Amino acid sequence: MNISFDNTENAFAYKTSKELKEAKFLFNTMGFPWFVQIGTRLTPFVMRTGLPVHGIIRKTIFKQFVGGETLEETAEVGAILGKYGVQVILDYGVEGKEGEDNYDRATEQFIRVINYAATQTNIPFISIKVTGLARFGLLQTLNEAPRLRSGIHDHEEEINEWDRVRDRMYTICEVAAEKNIGVLIDAEESWIQDPVDRLTMEMMEIFNKEKVIVYNTIQLYRHDRLHFLKLSHKIAREQGFKLGMKLVRGAYMEKERERAYDKGYESPIQPDKPATDNDYDASLAFCIEHVEDISVIVASHNEATNLYAALLLDKKGLPHNHPHIHFSQLYGMSDNITFNLAKEGFNVSKYLPFGPIRDVIPYLMRRAQENSSVSGQTGRELSLIKKELCRRKG
C-alpha cells in the first residue's frame, strides 16, 4: 500500500488553478473565527431581507461545498468526480421545513434523487434526514416515551402522525431497494435519536435481508455508541438481516453539552477527543472484523483514521474495493484524503449536497463553523492548496 495524503497533485487534479485560488481565499477567510461567527449569524437574516447577496454566496461558500441548486447542475460535478474514480453520496440539502405538505414534498424529492442516482454509474448512495420527514417535536415526544406505540401514550393523533412518517420512510427505502441505491439515514441530536434508531432498524429488518440498502449513522463522540453498534449487530444477527453503519465523529457537540448542563443531566458526549478517537477506531475494527454481515462507511476527515482503516483492510487480506467497505468525505473538504484513496483503488465518495441556496444555508453555516472550530482543519486545507499552487508554478 502506497498512500500519501500529502500528494496534492492527486488531490487537486480535478480543480483549475483559478478554482484553487478561490478556495484559498475562502479558507483564508474561515481562518478568522470572529468573522465566521458574525457571518453565520448575519447570513440567514440577510438572505431573508432579499438583499442581493445571493450571487456572492453562490460564487464563494456555496460553490465550495454544494453541488448545485438543482439535480441537473449537481450532475456536472458528479461527472467530474467520476473521472477520478470518486463516487457520490447525493443529499437533497433542505432542512428544517416543517408541515405535512413539506414532508410529503421532501419524500417525493428523495425518490426523484434515487431514480436519478440509479441512472448513474458513480452514485451508490443517497443521504436523508428523518427531520426532513417528521416534526422535531414528535421525535422528541417519542424519545421521551419510547413505549409510545405499546399503549402508554394514548395521543391517537401523534400515533397517526408517526405512522405517516413510517410510511414515508418505507416508500423511500422500497424505491431504493428496487433501484439498488443505498439510503444513509443521518444521525440527529441525542434527544430525538431513539425513534430515528428504531425506525432505521425497522427498515433494515425489511430491506437488508440479502444486501445492505439502509444504513444507520452513529456519532462516536457519544460515549454510548460503541455499545449501541455491538447491540445493533447482535439484533441484526438474531433477526436475520445485514447491518449497515456509517461512522462519524459527530456534529452537535456544543449544543449537546449546553443542553445537558441546562437541564441537569449527564452529558452524552465523551470526556475528551482521545476517547472519541478510541471509540471510532474500536467501531471501525469491529465492523471490519464482521465484514461479512456489516457494511460500513468510514465517514471521516481524520487522516489517521482513514489510514488505520486502509491498514486494517490490508491486514485482513481484504481487497481495497471490498463491497462492504466505503470511505467518504464532504465535498469541498479533505480532497487529499478522497482522491488519494481513490487512486489506490478504495471505494470512496464525496458527500454532495444540492438545493436552492436559501434552503442549504443551514448546511453552509455548519461547514463554515466546522472549518473555523475544528482544530487545524482550515490550516491543513490552506497549506495543501498553497503547496499545490506552488507545485503548478514549477
The three-state DSSP-derived secondary structure of 184-231 is EECCCCHHHHHHHHHHHHHHHHHHCCCCCCEEEEEECCECCHHHHHHH
200, 202, 205, 207: CA torsion to nearest 10: -70
* CA-to-CA dists, residue 257 to 220, 266, 295, angstroms: 15, 9, 31
Cell readout for 172 is: 423511500
| Cα–Cα distance, 225 to 216 (Å, whole number) | 12
Domains in the chain: how many in total? 1
Low-confidence ranges of the chain (pLDDT < 70): 1, 50-52, 96, 146-156, 370-376
User: Residue 114 has what pLDDT?
Assistant: 97
Is residue 50 situated within a structural domain? no
Q: 205-243 pLDDT, tens per residue?
A: 999 999 999 999 999 999 999 999 999 999 999 999 999
Instruction: Report the Cα 303 to chain-centroid distance in Å.
Output: 17
Is residue 329 situated within a structural domain? yes
User: Residue 147 has what pLDDT?
Assistant: 54
- The residue with cell 461527472 is 79
Is residue 335 situated within a structural domain? yes
Is residue 280 situated within a structural domain? yes
What is the pTM (predicted TM-score) of this model? 0.93
User: Residue 151 has what pLDDT?
Assistant: 45
Residue 246 backbone dihedrals phi, psi, to 5 degrees? -105, 125
Is residue 46 situated within a structural domain? no
User: Residue 254: CB partners within 8 Å, gap ≥ 6?
Assistant: none
User: Residue 37 has what pLDDT?
Assistant: 76
Q: 185-201 pLDDT, tens per residue?
A: 999 999 999 999 999 99
Is residue 272 situated within a structural domain? yes
Is residue 92 situated within a structural domain? yes
**DSSP character string of 2-27:** ---TT-HHHHTTTS-HHHHHHHHHHH
CATH number at residue 99: 3.20.20.220
Buried b (16+ CB within 10 A) or exposed e, 267-284: bbbbeeeeebbebbbebb
Q: What sign does the CA torsion over 127, 133, 139, 140 have?
A: positive
| Cα–Cα distance, 267 to 254 (Å, whole number) | 11
| Cα–Cα distance, 348 to 339 (Å, whole number) | 8
Is residue 54 situated within a structural domain? no
Residue 348 and residue 306 in contact, taking contact as beta carbons nearer than 8 Å = no
Angle between helices 17-30 and 357-373 (to 10 degrees): 70
The three-state DSSP-derived secondary structure of 262-330 is HHCCCCCECCCHHHHHHHHHHHHHHHHHCCCCEEEEEECCCHHHHHHHHHHHHHCCCCCCCCCEEEEEE
Question: What domain range includes position 329?
Answer: 69-360
Burial of 234 per CB tally in 10 Å (0-12, 13-18, 19+): exposed
